[in-house]
């Protein structure tokens, strides 16, 4: 009981009302998983100190099978009822990208809801009551990927246009209830988001859920390894938005990783994880999610 009361106190202290809606045109901001440098450093220190080492013997399978739980939120006007065939296409997109890296996704269950507040009041900058209520439907343990499809994801200014956000493996222990991906239905295959409507943004969000940071985190500071804690992703001053070759950190080796899934470029640009990223998401998944491969 003490534990529950403690959790309730924490929830009560962090809950704030979401910002008012803003009907003016907004620019898509791609992703809401932007932890501060301090948070990333804290998470990395914990990871280094607690890393579960891989075991190259028979108990380590060559690939991981991850169960997905789809939560599809509609509003009372009937928007957001993503058809089953589109959900199937979305799964295929994920697998087409991740099978190359030893990750196989299966959909274990699809749940559907009609809730106006969940549909339009999820916020990347603070936890809303809508998010808490929606995620009370979460299914499974640390190794289960819960994906919540909503209509619009807001920021602190009330702007919509963020395509998705994910929790990181390190957060699971302290905030199980929040674990998973919130994804805009504008970014599913055939959605309305320009140049980001093939479903590939979900592979980016799954990258976060598996433990990857953006390739541009940390900017040019400290060479290639500082921001995303991956040594073979070239440093990048800021998020790239298109596939044009650029070298925003000329004093660090390599051009910007504009083809990397963890950048912000258009869907057709992004087609790779580096070996260092694959190694990192294996280590992160093993350490925090009990997923061995
Ligand atoms: Ca790097
Ligand atoms: Zn992201």
Nearest ligand, measured from the Cα of 227: 1
pLDDT of residue 54: 76
Angle at 221 between CA 216 and CA 227, to 5 degrees: 40
Enumerate residues 6+ apart whose C-beta is below 8 A from 187.
163, 164, 193, 196, 197, 199, 201, 202
Considering every ligand atom, which ligand is closest to the CA of 219? 1
Long-range Cβ contacts of 213-219 (<8 Å, 24+ apart):
213/35, 213/40, 213/262, 214/31, 214/33, 214/34, 214/239, 214/262, 214/263, 214/264, 215/256, 215/257, 215/260, 215/262, 215/263, 216/240, 216/256, 216/263, 216/264, 217/37, 217/40, 218/37, 218/40, 219/249
Ligand 1 centroid vs 209 CA: distance in angstroms?
18
Three-class SS of residue 110? strand
- Burial of 174: CB neighbours in 10 Å, binned 0-12, 13-18, 19+: exposed
Q: Taking the model in full, what pTM does it have?
A: 0.89
Neighbours of 288 (CB within 10 A): 24
Tens of each residue's pLDDT in the chain, 293 residues? 334 333 333 333 333 333 333 333 334 489 999 999 999 999 999 999 999 987 666 566 778 999 999 999 999 999 999 999 999 999 999 999 999 999 999 999 999 999 999 999 999 999 999 999 999 999 999 999 999 999 999 999 999 999 999 999 999 999 999 999 999 999 999 999 999 999 999 999 999 999 999 999 999 985 656 799 999 999 999 999 999 999 999 999 999 999 999 999 999 999 999 999 999 999 999 999 999 88
Element (H, E) at 111: strand 103-114
Residue 119's closest CA among 159, 161, 76? 76
**What's residue 3's pLDDT?**
40
Distance CA 190, CA 187 (A): 8
> Please, which residues have CB within 8 angstroms of residue 184's CB and are 6 or more apart in sequence?
149, 150, 151, 152, 153, 162, 163, 164, 191, 193
Question: How far apart, in whole angstroms, are the C-alpha atoms of residue 116 and residue 118?
Answer: 6
28 within 8 A of 261, measured Cβ to Cβ: no
The residue with tokens 């190359």 is: 100
N- to C-terminal Cα separation, the chain: 37
Gap from CA of 196 to ligand 2 centroid (Å): 13
User: CA Rg, the chain, in Å?
Assistant: 18
Residue with token string 């985190």: 217
Ligand 2 centroid – CA 39 distance (Å): 15
Mind telling me the catalytic residues?
205
Ligand nearest to the CA of 254: 1
Q: What is the pLDDT of residue 29?
A: 85
- For ligand 1, the distance from its centroid to the CA atom of residue 252, given in whole angstroms, is 10
The DSSP bridge pattern shows strands 162-166 and 181-184 to be antiparallel
- Residue-level pLDDT at 224: 59
Cα separation, 47 vs 136, in Å, equals 27
Cα–Cα distance measured from residue 47 to residue 41, given in angstroms and rounded to the nearest whole number: 10
With tokens 């998020």, the residue in question is 239
């Amino acid at each position: 009981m003490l534990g529950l009361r403690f959790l309730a106190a924490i929830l009560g202290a962090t809950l704030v009302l979401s910002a008012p809606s803003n009907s003016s045109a907004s620019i898509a901001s791609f992703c809401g998983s932007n932890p501060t440098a301090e948070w990333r450093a804290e998470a990395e220190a914990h990871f280094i100190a607690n890393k579960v080492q891989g075991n190259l013997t028979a108990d380590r399978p060559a690939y991981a099978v991850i169960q997905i739980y789809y939560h599809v939120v509609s509003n009372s006007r009937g928007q957001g009822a993503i058809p089953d065939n589109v959900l199937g296409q979305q799964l295929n997109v994920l697998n087409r990208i991740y099978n190359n890296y030893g990750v196989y996704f299966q959909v274990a269950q699809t749940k559907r809801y009609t809730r106006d507040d969940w549909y339009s009041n999820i916020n990347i900058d603070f936890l809303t009551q809508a998010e808490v209520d929606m995620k009370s439907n979460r299914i499974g343990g640390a190794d289960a990927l819960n994906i919540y499809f909503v209509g619009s994801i807001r920021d602190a200014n009330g702007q919509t246009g963020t395509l998705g956000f994910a929790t990181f493996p390190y957060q699971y222990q302290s905030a199980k209830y929040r674990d998973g991906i919130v994804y805009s239905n504008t970014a599913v295959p055939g959605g309305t988001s320009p140049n980001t409507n093939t479903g590939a943004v979900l592979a980016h969000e799954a990258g976060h859920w598996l433990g990857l940071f953006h390739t541009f985190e940390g900017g040019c500071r400290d060479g290639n390894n500082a921001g995303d804690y991956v040594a073979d992703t070239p440093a990048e001053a800021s998020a790239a938005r298109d596939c044009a070759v650029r070298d925003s950190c000329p004093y660090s080796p390599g051009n910007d990783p504009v083809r990397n899934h963890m950048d912000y470029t258009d869907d057709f640009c992004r087609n790779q994880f580096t070996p260092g990223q694959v190694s990192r998401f294996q280590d992160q998944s093993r350490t925090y999610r009990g997923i061995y491969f």
